[in-house]
Amino acid sequence: MNILVTGAAGFVGQNLRIRLSREKDCTVFPFDVANTESDLFEFLANADRIVHLAGINRPPNPSEFMAGNLGLTSTIADALEKMQRPVPIIFSSSIQAELENDYGKSKRAAEERLKLYSERTGAPVCIFRFANIFGKWCKPNYNSAVATFCFNTAHGLPLTIHDPEAPLRLVYIDDVADAIVRELTSELQGFSYASAEPVYASTVGKVAAMIQDIHDKRQKGFIGDYSDSFYKKLATTYLSYVDIPSLATAPELKRDERGWLFELIKSEKAGQIFISTTKPGKKRGNHYHDTKVEKFCLIKGKARISLRKVETTERYDLEVDEQNIQIVDIPPGYTHCIENTGTEDCIVLFWANEVMDPVHQDTYRLEV
């Protein structure tokens, strides 16, 4: 299938092209401002489907809205009608097409031209009235509040918010790309409208606060609630605006005669993950917890994990090594330790179901 994508170098176009590169038997004809009109006509003569993303949403003069959004749409429709090629078209419109502003009027006019094209040729036309799209590679400080908030927060720049309570309806770029591909690969008929889901309803102030929370948590080694799909997508988007050198952070290494230990991930909802090295013959632990539980996983070397129920004498020893990876649960009320029984430093990955609280540690010394 040959697919002409207009606006191919833009935010949605770039993400869609990458998404389409994973489809079988799919060739993309990318058209953008660097192309000529003759390129466009050649693509139109060979395309099996068209995804029309190109448009203007922030021109210097409002009068340019109609020329930019209706103009190219009319050029495409006129050419296809002249060629007598009823090529299916998927058009990226906007929820603002329902409004009376200049941008909305231009998008609505483009929709009407495509409806006429469908009626004249019988070609299927599918219109997406997208909410505000957010995600990786959107240009900040242009026309996306999310992109601007992410970029400015990641770079320590101030945010300008005129009305924190202003409503904001958002849809994620990967959901948009999936929705477009769904329509591309379906049997389109007539003139229709489609949607990309889910659409997240929020406010400008709430979104800015969530992005600030994502930023602050990252600075402290925490992650937020990734079971919330909107929060997860915002966190993913935020990370795409962090400068490459700043992606690497140095944890605080806690060193002693046994080796070192550092915290990898902390979560208010899911506890924390930490990693340690232990030198040959050295032990870690010899304590128990009332409520906290842990998982131990030796990933390098050889060790013995020992457990004993508090106020009993029976001891349990579990031999672990890198040749037979095991994940060992440590129940509450059992004093436990891990001893390096090999000849080289061992590396152990730990998970605890709560972040260590220096004031209320729930950790009590007791030899196994």
Q: Give the DSSP H/E element, type plus range, for residue 58.
A: none
| Global pTM value | 0.91
Give the ranges where the chain is alpha helix by DSSP (H): 11-20, 37-46, 64-83, 102-121, 145-154, 173-184, 204-219, 229-239
The pLDDT of residue 46: 97
Sign (positive or negative) of CA dihedral 223, 225, 226, 232: negative
Q: Record the tokens describing residue 318, joined without a space.
A: 């579990």
173-192 in b/e form (b: 16+ CB < 10 A) is: bebbbebbbebbeeebeebe
Cβ(204)–Cβ(163) below 8 Å: yes
Q: Give the DSSP H/E element, type plus range, for residue 264.
A: strand 259-267
Query: Do 2-133+161-200 and 254-365 show the same overall fold?
Result: no
- Closest to 155 (Cα-Cα) out of 245, 275, 65: 245
Place of tokens 């170098």: 9
Show me where the domains of the chain are located: 2-133+161-200, 254-365
* Assigned CATH topology for domain 254-365: Jelly Rolls (2.60.120)
Q: Residue 65 pairs with which residues in a beta bridge?
A: none
The pLDDT of residue 236: 97
Residue 262, CB-side half-sphere exposure with 13 Å CA sphere:
8
Rounded to whole angstroms, how far apart are CA atoms 285 and 339? 9
Rounded to whole angstroms, how far apart are CA atoms 47 and 62? 32
Peptide bond connecting 164 to the previous residue in cis, omega within 30 degrees of 0: no
The pLDDT of residue 62: 75
**CATH class of segment(s) 2-133+161-200:** alpha beta
The pLDDT of residue 100: 84
Cβ(32)–Cβ(16) below 8 Å: no
Contacts of 120 (CB under 8 A, 6+ apart): 81
Contacts of 358 (CB under 8 A, 6+ apart): none
**Catalytic residue numbers, as ranges:** 103
The pLDDT of residue 14: 97
The pLDDT of residue 52: 97
Reading the chain (368 residues) residue by residue, the pLDDT tens digits are 999 999 999 999 999 999 999 999 999 999 999 999 999 999 999 999 999 999 877 777 777 788 778 899 999 999 999 999 999 999 999 998 888 888 889 999 999 999 999 999 999 999 999 999 999 999 999 889 999 999 999 999 999 999 999 999 999 999 999 999 999 999 888 999 999 999 999 999 999 999 999 999 999 999 999 999 999 999 999 999 999 999 999 999 999 999 999 999 999 999 999 999 999 999 999 999 999 999 999 999 999 999 999 999 999 999 999 999 999 999 999 999 999 999 999 999 999 999 998 888 899 999 99
Q: Record the tokens describing residue 65, joined without a space.
A: 């809205």
- Closest to 147 (Cα-Cα) out of 156, 136, 160, 162: 136
